[in-house]
Amino acid sequence: MEIALKREVREELGITDFIPESLTSYVFESDREKELVFVHKTVYDGEIHPSDELDGGRFWNIEEIKENLGKGIFTPNFEGELKRVSLIPSLSK
């Protein structure tokens, strides 16, 4: 899993020197799919070079995320992950 994680981060963001921290894993299921999800975080203070694979993107601060929860901007699994992994303590279960 760590090899795949580092490969995808390199391919999609151009980041090669980082240490991932495992947060959790879970099964996400919707009407359309079922997948095993592994959630990691890292701290990185270098340049990011998004690939053509990504369809846009931006950085959000915590307040912007909180203000836009439940408005259909984020995917259901993203909003669920925020609660599940305690990245925003006020949203945790």
| Residues 55-83 pLDDT 10s | 777 888 888 998 999 999 998 878 888 88
> Do residues 82 and 44 share a domain?
no
DSSP code, position 91: G
Q: For residue 81, what pLDDT is reported?
A: 83
The three state secondary structure string of 68-83 is HCCCCCCCHHHHHHHH
Domain hosting 81: range is: 58-93
Question: Which residue type sits at 91?
Answer: L
pTM recorded for the entire structure: 0.71
CA 86 and chain centroid, separation: 13
> Do residues 50 and 9 share a domain?
yes
Position of tokens 């580092």? 6
Q: For residue 92, what pLDDT is reported?
A: 54
Residue 29 CB partners (closer than 8 Å, separation 6+): 35
Phi, psi of 62 (to 5 degrees): -60, -40
> Do residues 6 and 49 share a domain?
yes
